[in-house]
Amino acid sequence: MAENILITGGAGYIGSHTTEILIKNNKKVYIVDDLSTGFRKLILKKAKFFKTNILHKKKLKNIIIKNDIDSVIHLAAVLSVGESEKNPQKYNRINVHGTKKLLEAIKNTGVKNLIFSSTCAVYKDGFTKVTEKTKLYPSSVYGRTKLKCEKLIKIFCKKNKLNYGILRYFNVAGASASGKIGQINKGDQLFKNLSIEVQKKNPTFRVYGANYKTKDGTCIRDYIHVSDISDIHYKVLLKIDKYNTSTVLNCGYGKGISVNDVIKKFKKYANKNLKIVKFPNRKGDMVKVISDNSKLKKFLKWRPKFNNLSKIVNSCINWEKEIK
């Protein structure tokens, strides 16, 4: 049974929410994070924290052995599509080489389950409903590094008889209903940046790409609440552990929402006029990608709890008020 769980990148946005649900279910959680993009504020008190990164194989192996780790949730990565195009070496070093080091650390230990955070960026752009069997054709450096990691994990787990769950996130947003954790770092996160902006007296927001061939000219995304993503991590871990199986799953709601639709919802909640400044399309950005989540629903008998844009937006604004 999965009891002692190591989360790489556990001081980050998704890591902290996954930690929260694991602790609620009486699991022992161990966090590895170098705090380069993570935050001490997001580390829950009941989790044990080690400040290091996934490139330090010996340190990782010692942590795994000394704490009898049986399952690893691998979230540590750099995530910005735009940055990946400007600095591909960084993305290959951290995402790909870092994953290799983690796998080497796991080898010949008591770890039997591995959950990996992949991305919808491994798919070809423009698909309305992508299944796990849809052709993989990443258009960004970021997407290509994640696909390389998927392949490494599949080969490693097969050779070393580990169970794996590869979770292809669509666009994660929102904050925990507990009010204790949420997103802190900004980057190029739509919901986070809008949450900050609508707190201002005269909010202004940048939109990158407003002339795409979509209903309103902006990109279309499949957004999923972070608490639902975290719940998926927990349930997939239990399932692959119990049945000694492995899987690849799309993690989205299966609904396309445009950037402009999100902006309108924020304007409504904030009850403010939001000035929009349009910028050129960014290299590597996907125009449209929507999940077919039927495999996820069947595998877990899963029903989302936060499948509503208003709930996601509301949780983002409430979190921003909390940390302001």
Percent above pLDDT 90 for the chain:
80
Amino acid 34: pLDDT: 97
Does 140 have pLDDT greater than 80? yes
Amino acid 12: pLDDT: 96
Amino acid 76: pLDDT: 98
Single out the residue of 27, 312, 319, 292 nearest to residue 172, CA to CA: 312
Using CA atoms, how far residue 71 sits from 4, 113, 217, in Å, is 7, 5, 43
Please give the helix or strand (H or E) that residue 8 lies within, else none.
Answer: strand 4-8
Does 127 have pLDDT greater than 90? no
Of the candidate ranges 8-17, 76-85, 247-256, the one whose mean pLDDT is the lowest: 76-85
**DSSP track, 116-138:** EEEEGGGBPTTEEEE-TTSPB--
| Mean pLDDT value across the chain | 94
Does 17 have pLDDT greater than 80? yes
Q: Which two tokens stand for residue 94?
A: 């951290």
pLDDT category of residue 188 using cuts at 50, 70 and 90: confident
pLDDT in tens, 195-224: 998 888 888 888 888 888 899 999 999 999
Strand, coil or helix: 71: strand
Q: 56 φ, ψ to 5°? A: -95, 85
Rounded mean pLDDT of 128-148? 95
Does 103 have pLDDT greater than 70? yes
CB 18 within 8 A of CB 73: yes
Single out the residue of 202, 205, 177 nearest to residue 265, CA to CA: 205
Amino acid 126: pLDDT: 79
Q: 90 φ, ψ to 5°? A: -60, -40
In sequence order, which ranges of the chain are alpha helices (DSSP H)?
13-24, 57-66, 81-86, 88-91, 98-106, 141-160, 190-197, 226-243, 259-270, 294-300, 309-323
Strand, coil or helix: 7: strand
- Determine the Cα–Cα distance for residues 213 and 313; give it in Å rounded to an integer: 25
Amino acid 195: pLDDT: 92
Of the candidate ranges 12-21, 79-88, 163-172, 250-259, the one whose mean pLDDT is the lowest: 79-88
CB 277 within 8 A of CB 193: no
Structural domains of the chain, with CATH: 4-173+222-251 (3.40.50.720), 190-221+254-287+307-323 (3.90.25.10)
Percent above pLDDT 70 for the chain:
99
pLDDT category of residue 321 using cuts at 50, 70 and 90: confident
Amino acid 186: pLDDT: 63
Amino acid 199: pLDDT: 87
CB within 8 A of 215, min separation 6: which ones?
Answer: 258
Residue with structure tokens 């989302």? 304
Angle at CA 140, nearest 5°, toward 212 and 255?
A: 55
Cβ-count burial 153-185 (b if 16+ within 10 Å, e if not): beebbeeeebbbbbbbbbbbbbbbeeeebbbbe
| Annotated catalytic residue, options 30, 123, 142, 169 | 142
142 is catalytic: yes
Residue type (1 letter), 10 = G
Amino acid 286: pLDDT: 85
Does 187 have pLDDT greater than 80? no
Rounded mean pLDDT of 180-190? 83
